[in-house]
Amino acid sequence: MKLSERIQHLRKSRGMSQEELAEKIGVSRQAVSKWESEQSMPDSEKVILLSDFFGVTTDYLLKGRELEPQQENKKGNKASLGLVLVCATLAGIWSLTANRFRYDECFLIILAGVLVGLGLSWVLTKKR
């Protein structure tokens, strides 16, 4: 897919006319028409405006590159870390408020919470 096709696809997927897009980014309808028909290309400033407006990267507009898997993994890692912390925190709160465990036992219960969180995050990421 070319830049012209990506601009047209993004515009149409949002149900916008060329005129509406032109108003939003401060160009004429003819400019948008020329971009979509490959008669001209938007300058770098307009590419940045388009990427901000459509919520995509300039790499996607210019090269067609989607979000790289490495970036997707970073999002998954943050979610997994959050799940581990929640499980460990809940285990810690439960063990410390129960008042029937020694501190070394509380530590082991918190460690078990971490392991449960890791296990859950592993299972959830396997399903993706």
Query: Running DSSP on this structure, what letter comes out for residue 64?
Result: -
Give pLDDT, residue 127: 59
Average pLDDT, stretch 98-127? 80
Displacement of CA 14 from its chain's centroid (Å): 19
**Distant-in-sequence contacts of 40-44, Cβ < 8 A, 24+ apart:** 41/3, 42/3, 42/7
- Residue 17 phi, psi dihedral angles, 5° rounding: -90, 165
Note the pLDDT tens digit of each residue in 90-112: 888 887 787 777 888 888 888 88
Interatomic CA distance for residues 64 and 39, integer angstroms: 19
Whose structure tokens read 């530590």?
107
pLDDT single digits (tens) 43-52: 999 999 999 9
What pLDDT was estimated at residue 30?
96
